[in-house]
Amino acid sequence: MNKQMLKKYAKAIVRIGVNVKKGQEVIIFSELDSVELVRQIVIEAYKAKASKVSVEWQDSKITKAHYKYQTIKTLATIPEWQEKKQAHIVETLPCYIRIKSADPDALKGIDQIKVSKVNQLTYPILKPYRDALDNKHPWTIVGAPSVAWAKKVFPNLSKKKAVDALWDAILKSARIDENDPIDNWNKHNQYLKEKCDKLNNLNIHHLHYKSSNGTDLTVEIMKNTLFLGGGETTLDGQFFNPNMPTEECFGMLNKNGVNGIVYASKPLSYNGELIEDFSFKFEKGKVVEVHAKKGEELLKTMINMDEGSSRLGEVALVPYNSPISLSNILYYNTLFDENASCHLALGEAFSNNIKDYEKMTSKEIEEFGMNHSMIHVDFMIGTKDMSIVATTNDGKEVPIFVDGNWAI
């Protein structure tokens, strides 16, 4: 890995990803594979005047061992010190930086029913802390290669060449090149904002998706919501980029207004296992049929996590000719694959899609009617021939996508 490019990447993560402010704390979540990048991020965060930088190390093999040998009761127990730690985070509102590098098959063979039960038990305990952080602190998710992930993406290359190739792809997708990455991101954020403004000005009632693979789906857009894309702003005005890379304009749909069938166009990595060649049939917003050539039982477990897990919380538009798509690389990682394809997300919706949400009370947001769930799982549906037609609230039909790409 070119040291100069690594420094550029780390600086962009700190300055563009979370936009660290003087005196702010930073917490980095990383697998053990990304030590070099983590070290550089720590340095860049202190250069940005962070008051304290902490690192939370993770390891998929250890996580797998925990689930194999611990009981559900032990796994689901949240000790007092962890709750105090969450309370401190809510009080200090640090920047979160999450580095994705794990093997897509890292947890293959794990007892997924056990994982689901643990999540169902811990979710009510941790949810109040997550809600208290919502839209109040900057966060970003970025990628870095591990050998296992790189070999999954480039199986015919040697370990070193596979890692080098994945580094090259990640940096290109994150707009880290010989130019100024910060300027690259400022221009890209402006581009995405312009697309969102066009969508919002249409006053869309519903979107109709059609593809030759069988997708024929109608999705109602929630009233008084906005499409968003690129950077976001916390409630106290701190601008940040949640995903690096990002190519999407995403909105909130009516959780009861989804009908038809949709076929996934890429595999989905969920809980460390791959689900492939799958489809959902929706009626009045709820999944009523699910099929998959690989991972069907895991998919069924996922949509039965809670009441909202079988309904959609997000609709996202990404052109087929986006840079990540044109690379013809299947990453087996949602952060990257979702930005190569139009996608939908089962589960939790984002409150910042609500128009003027910052002026609303917590109770008003809760009563708005957005979908709620312990999961938020993006799955890719975009194809080269996908058409998306919007019907506006005054009855006009407007092509949004033609042959997989923007028509507006």
Judge whether 235 lies within some domain: no
- Amino acid identity, position 185: W
Judge whether 187 lies within some domain: no
β-pair type (204-210, 216-221): antiparallel
> In this structure, are 199 and 163 located in the same domain?
no
Judge whether 189 lies within some domain: no
> In this structure, are 90 and 152 located in the same domain?
yes
> In this structure, are 206 and 153 located in the same domain?
no
> Residue 334 and residue 338: Cα distance in Å, rounded?
5
Supply the pLDDT for residue 275: 94
> In this structure, are 200 and 162 located in the same domain?
no
Angle 341-343-348 (CA atoms, 0-180°, nearest 5)?
Answer: 150
Residues 6 or more apart whose Cβ sits within 8 Å of residue 65: none
Supply the pLDDT for residue 202: 97
Supply the pLDDT for residue 179: 86
Nearest to 142 by CA among 41, 56, 235: 41
Q: What is the DSSP code string of 51-95?
A: SEEEEEEE-HHHHHHHHHHS-HHHHT---HHHHHHHHHHHHH--E
* Residue listed under structure tokens 């093997």: 103
**CA quadruple 354, 358, 362, 363: dihedral positive or negative?**
negative
| Burial of 171 from C-beta contacts in 10 A (0-12 / 13-18 / 19+) | buried
Number of domains in the chain: 2
> In this structure, are 224 and 169 located in the same domain?
no
> In this structure, are 40 and 157 located in the same domain?
yes
Tell me the whole-structure pTM to 2 decimals: 0.92
Judge whether 188 lies within some domain: no
Residues 6 or more apart whose Cβ sits within 8 Å of residue 373: 305, 306, 307, 308, 309, 311, 313, 346, 347, 348
Supply the pLDDT for residue 280: 98
Judge whether 179 lies within some domain: no
> In this structure, are 129 and 62 located in the same domain?
yes
| Burial of 155 from C-beta contacts in 10 A (0-12 / 13-18 / 19+) | exposed
pLDDT digits (tens, 9 = 90+) for 236-273: 999 999 999 999 999 999 999 999 999 999 999 888 78
Q: What is the DSSP code string of 117-144?
A: HHHHHHHHHHHHHHHHHTTTS-EEEEE-
Q: Which two tokens stand for residue 405?
A: 């790409």
Residues of the chain with pLDDT below 50 are none
> In this structure, are 143 and 257 located in the same domain?
no
> In this structure, are 318 and 394 located in the same domain?
yes
> In this structure, are 341 and 282 located in the same domain?
yes
Residues 6 or more apart whose Cβ sits within 8 Å of residue 91: none
Q: What is the DSSP code string of 153-179?
A: H-TTS-HHHHHHHHHHHHHHHTT-SSS
> Residue 299 and residue 275: Cα distance in Å, rounded?
7
Q: Give the range of the structural domain holding residue 369, as residue numbers without chain letter.
A: 195-230+244-406
Supply the pLDDT for residue 365: 87
Judge whether 284 lies within some domain: yes
> In this structure, are 161 and 200 located in the same domain?
no
| Burial of 361 from C-beta contacts in 10 A (0-12 / 13-18 / 19+) | exposed
> Residue 88 and residue 15: Cα distance in Å, rounded?
24
Q: What is the CATH number of the domain that holds 26?
A: 3.40.1830.10
> In this structure, are 166 and 209 located in the same domain?
no
